[in-house]
Amino acid sequence: MGKASRDKRDIYYRKAKEEGWRARSAFKLLQIDEEFNIFEGVKRVVDLCAAPGSWSQVLSRKVYLPVKLAPDAKDEDLPLIVAIDLQPMAPIEGVIQVQGDITNARTAEVVIRHFDGCKADLVVCDGAPDVTGLHDMDEFVQSQLILAGLTIVSHVLKEGGKFIAKIFRGKDTSLLYCQLKLFFPVVTFAKPKSSRNSSIEAFAVCENYSPPEGFNPKDLHRLLEKVGSPSGVDDTDCCSGRLEGPNKVYIPFLACGDLSGYDSDRSYPLPKVVGGTYQSLDPVQPPIAPPYKRALELKKGTSQGGGIRELENLTLDS
Ligand code: SAM
């Protein structure tokens, strides 16, 4: 699909370029904020799986820049935003970048060090593995990213704080909901208007972080494993004990974003240009080292007769 054709078919892709966002995902976070007011009072944030950086841009514009540009701004009042991804990303004002794997304990330690004993008000996670198209597999890998996010949450989020995480809806959605409910009394699964209906993605909006009394982050996985087991953690809680049947747990599911606004599943006509033809804008900031970069270089090499063996090896290794 060419850029102009995509501009027509994907209104949020076009709007992202017009408004200076690195990815259309920016609108998802903005629409979640419209419904849940997630940035109110936020001074410290962790952005997990942040590249190419559109959520970090939203955080910079909504949380950092208003304080930085205030007439009486002081350095010590500046908000702290830490963004982590496997991939490097181009700098964003007010955002500290950490390159690493969020499932790795050492990455969590680096994040915690940045907070220097203070706690975050908000943790967001838009992590997505390379989708295979096998729904069960994709849902499973996605849930591992959320659990890695929850590990970081258990170390850095302050009581009362919020956690927003991308989920893939599937057969284990109720289990995930119940696991999140162990730590957050209010959990809503939200579908922003900018997220296509055809996509199984949604976002868990978890409010008012309240870990169980005496909770030790070292026990996180043991605690999560108990959810849904016959001898659940606390039989008085609707989310522990057996998860029998589809009616056992009712998950609040909410569409968010201006419902009369742009529909991500619709094509929109391109803007009329006086005296010329429509020119598609370039992306604001292409990824600086995407995982497919080497493959593209090798593919170019193949067309000149070189690189075939290395490309074969790369394909076999990945
Ligand atoms: N929120 C981003 C934005 O607005 O630009 C888009 C995130 S993109 C959908 C998903 C990201 O998850 C990718 O950049 C990928 O590198 C990252 N990711 C996947 N697994 C990861 C892991 N284990 N640790 C860190 N990042 C990971």
Average pLDDT, integer, range 141-157: 92
169 part of a folded domain: yes
281 part of a folded domain: yes
Instruction: Assess whether pLDDT exceeds 50 at residue 318.
Output: no
pLDDT tens readout for residues 14-31: 999 999 999 999 999 999
Q: Which two tokens stand for residue 42?
A: 């936020």
Q: What ipTM does this complex have?
A: 0.99
- Which uninterrupted H or E stretch holds 167? strand 157-168
70 part of a folded domain: yes
pLDDT tens readout for residues 236-295: 454 544 555 555 677 888 998 887 788 888 888 888 877 778 888 888 887 777 767 777
241 part of a folded domain: no
Rounded distance from Cα 126 to ligand 1 centre (Å): 6
pLDDT tens readout for residues 109-128: 898 899 888 999 999 999 98
Backbone angles phi, psi at 254, to 5 degrees: -135, 135
Q: Which residue has the higher pLDDT, 154 or 284?
A: 154
- Which uninterrupted H or E stretch holds 223? helix 220-226
The contacts of residue 163 (CB under 8 Å, 6+ apart) are: 122, 123, 124, 125, 149, 150, 153, 157, 180, 184, 204, 206, 209
Instruction: Assess whether pLDDT exceeds 90 at residue 129.
Output: no
251 part of a folded domain: yes
166, 124 in Cβ contact below 8 A? no
Window from 79-83, 128-132, 287-291 with minimum mean pLDDT = 287-291
Q: 302: pLDDT confidence band, cut at 50, 70 and 90?
A: low
Give the burial class of 271: count Cβ atoms within 10 A of its Cβ; 0-12 exposed, 13-18 middle, 19 or more buried.
Answer: exposed
The residue whose C-alpha atom lies closest to atom 23 belonging to ligand 1 is: 101
- The DSSP bridge pattern shows strands 201-207 and 186-192 to be antiparallel
Q: Which residues pair with 302 in a beta bridge?
A: none
Testing ligand 1's pocket by substitution, the residue of 29, 86, 106, 292 carrying the most ligand atoms inside 8 A of its CB is: 86
**Domain residues for 100?**
3-227+247-300
For helices 26-36 and 11-19, the axis angle rounded to 10 degrees is 90
Atom of ligand 1 nearest to the CA of 29: 4
| Count of structural domains, the chain | 1
287, 87 in Cβ contact below 8 A? yes
119 part of a folded domain: yes
Q: What is the CATH number of the domain that holds 288?
A: 3.40.50.150
- The DSSP bridge pattern shows strands 253-256 and 120-125 to be unpaired
- Give the active site residues: 166
Q: Which residues are annotated as a binding site?
A: 53, 55, 85, 101, 126
117 part of a folded domain: yes
262 part of a folded domain: yes
Other residues' Cβ atoms within 10 Å of the Cβ of residue 270: 15
Q: Which residue has the higher pLDDT, 41 or 239?
A: 41
